[in-house]
Amino acid sequence: MDDTNGQVVAGGNGKGNRLDQLDRPTDVLIDKETDSLIICDKGNRRVVRWSRRSGTTQGEILIENIACARLAMDDQRYLYISDTGKHEVKRYQIGDKTGTIVAGGNGQGARLNQLNYPTYIFVDQQQTVYVSDRNNHRVMKWNKGAKEGIVVAGGQGEGNALTQLDRSQGL
């Protein structure tokens, strides 16, 4: 391929809330089964799906009213979304609008059953959820069905010691 220019595949019509626009997209993943992009459209508080087929001019809203930061998808095609407003991570079946809390969900805080501005997430084959708990300066592991998480990195306050993190930004 000799392309030297990029191609707009979602949005591209300025910042806004129409279905052909995005506002501060923070994450994207590819759903191979539907050949589509799933986009965390944080500024519009929604998660949208855009077909990767040529001629697509607008997205479809999957989930509304969510302060989404990051996305993940497991082998069973469950969609995981970190919500920085509710300080939780939810798991959704595609088409489900409510989801199930899999991490946090007990308000903002630093207890083992709480998160404070969850951002990056990773889900393994056992549906264990790893969460970058940004404002608690830690990474949490939530086993499937767990009511509280396990600190796997940081958690000793903000700093640069080997036992500390400073607003962890990634996994």
Domain extent listing, the chain: 9-65, 69-171
| Whole-number percent of the chain with pLDDT over 70 | 91
Residue 103 confidence class, pLDDT cut points 50, 70, 90 = very high
Residue 81: per-residue pLDDT:
97
What pLDDT does residue 7 have? 64
Give the Cα separation of 99 and 14 in Å (integer). Answer: 30
Of residues 18 and 126, which shows the higher confidence score?
Answer: 126
Contact 92, 106 (CB under 8 A): no
pLDDT at residue 19 greater than cutoff 90: no
**66 near 39, Cβ under 8 Å?**
no
Question: 166: which residues sit within 8 A by CB, 6+ positions away?
Answer: 137, 158, 159, 160
pLDDT value at residue 102: 98
Q: Spell out the residues 6+ positions from residue 46 whose beta carbon is closer than 8 angstroms to its own.
A: 61, 62, 63, 64, 65, 66, 68
Please name every residue paired with 72 in a beta bridge, in sequence order, or none if there are none.
80
| Per-residue confidence (pLDDT) for residue 8, from 0 to 100 | 63
What pLDDT score was predicted for residue 138?
Answer: 93
Pick the range with the lowest mean pLDDT from 42-46, 105-109, 161-165.
161-165
Lowest mean pLDDT among 48-57, 65-74, 161-170: 161-170
The C-alpha angle 130, 151, 124, rounded to 5 degrees, equals 20
- pLDDT, position 17: 80
1 pLDDT above the threshold of 70: no
CATH topology of domain 69-171: Neuraminidase (2.120.10)
pLDDT above 60 for 3? yes
d(CA 36, CA 19): 15
Q: What is the pLDDT of residues 34-50, one digit of tens each?
A: 999 999 999 999 999 98
CB 37 within 8 Å of CB 49: yes
What type of residue sits at position 44?
N
Backbone angles phi, psi at 2, to 5 degrees: -105, 15
